């Protein structure tokens, strides 16, 4: 009697488990909604990559501008020092 109960319980649990997999929609293909989400995410990634590229170009331009201004600043400093030394020698 116990064997029959064990076997029937095992069969019922196995059937419920199988039914839950079937009803939960386990498929090897993505649904239309999932495909749309994937497409939207891919578009967002492409947009963000484009933004990153633009920001990197902007950063490079700003770094060039800073380097140019640093060069001018160094030249001004050299000119100032030259003028100071000449003024000291002039007196």
pLDDT tens, 12-53? 766 666 665 555 555 668 788 989 999 999 999 999 999 999
CA distance 58 to 5: 74
Q: How far apart are CA 66 and CA 50, in angstroms?
A: 24
Residue from 46, 45, 22, 42 nearest 34 by CA = 42
Could you write out the DSSP letters of every residue in 43-56? HHHHHHHHHHHHHH
Query: What pLDDT is attached to residue 43?
Result: 94
User: CA-CA distance, 30 to 35, in Å (whole number)?
Assistant: 6
With H, G, I as helix, E, B as strand and everything else as coil, classify residue 11.
Answer: helix
**Each residue of 75-89: pLDDT tens digit?**
999 999 999 999 998
DSSP 91: -
What is the average per-residue pLDDT within 70-76?
Answer: 97
């Amino acid at each position: 009697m116990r064997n029959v109960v064990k076997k029937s319980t095992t069969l019922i649990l196995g059937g419920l488990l199988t039914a839950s997999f079937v009803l939960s929609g386990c498929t090897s293909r993505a649904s239309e909604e999932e495909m749309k989400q994937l497409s939207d995410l891919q578009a967002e990634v492409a947009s963000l990559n484009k933004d990153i590229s633009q920001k990197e170009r902007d950063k490079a331009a700003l770094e060039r501008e800073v380097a140019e201004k640093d060069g001018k600043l160094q030249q001004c400093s050299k000119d100032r020092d030259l003028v100071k030394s000449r003024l000291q020698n002039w007196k």
